Structure 1
Amino acid sequence: MSGLFNYLHDVFVVKFNAWVVLGFVAQGFFTMRFLVQWIASERARASVIPVAFWFFSIGGGVLLLIYALYRRDPVFIAGQALGLLVYTRNLYFIILRGRQASKG
């Protein structure tokens, strides 16, 4: 457990500087497009983007998260991890809607 704590301390505390702040701000702007889409999907209770978008997003997000963990980049790690939650939630809506439609 101390290894995990040391890793997280190194990534999120030791490496924290003005460039990391800039990176978080930049990631925030990038993430806003997904947040806006996510809110629209939550309100509609359905995804408004093709299913393939979410599969590619999850595949790319997982690979980028692995890369970010390797690079020990806190901005990249936080951004990709949050994105994966959004992608998964939208696929949940697609699956739920498909089940509801098949029950007629």
Structure 2
Amino acid sequence: MIVQLSRDLGAYLYDVFVTRFDLWLLFGLGAQILFAMRFIVQWIASERAGRSVMPVAFWFFSIGGGVMTLVYGLVRREPVIILGQALSLFIYARNLMLVFRERRGRTGR
């Protein structure tokens, strides 16, 4: 049973990552890496500050990765990705607007 499970898993992974490999898969993987960078940026900023912080770069990585992931979802016709990323992009943009409004208020402009 375990041997068969390992063979099935191996066949599945081969199908997903080798048989179906194309430029869109590469694009989607790039989008996922860009999207994941926001967590690395947030983690480093929080460690340096000694508290949880959300740097502006987090929102830019969110938008970049979100747009790329949305394009990937549109091309692949993945409704879960399309709906999730379309909504998320509005949230990321709104957070950037709030950040810039706060900064503008601090500088007196």
What TM-score do you get using the length of structure 2 for normalisation?
0.50
Alignment correspondent of 1:97: 102
1:82 and 2:87 matched: yes
Alignment correspondent of 2:13: none
Corresponding residue pairs, total:
57
Structure 2 stretches of 5 or more lacking a match?
1-52
Structure number with greater Rg is 2
* CA distance in structure 1 between the partners assigned to 2:81 and 2:54 by the alignment: 24
Please point out which of 54, 59, 62 is paired with 1:54: 59
* CA distance in structure 1 between the partners assigned to 2:60 and 2:91 by the alignment: 12
Structure 1 stretches of 5 or more lacking a match?
1-47
The one of the two structures with greater contact order (alpha-carbon pairs below 8 A, sep at least 6) is 1
> Root-mean-square deviation (CA), in Å?
1.3
* CA distance in structure 2 between the partners assigned to 1:70 and 1:100 by the alignment: 41
* CA distance in structure 1 between the partners assigned to 2:54 and 2:73 by the alignment: 26
Q: Secondary structure at the match of 1:94?
A: helix
Question: Which 4+ runs in 1 deviate beyond 2 A?
Answer: none
How far apart are residue 69 of structure 1 and its match? Answer: 0.3
Q: Secondary structure at the match of 1:80?
A: helix
Q: Secondary structure at the match of 1:63?
A: helix
How far apart are residue 49 of structure 1 and its match? Answer: 1.3
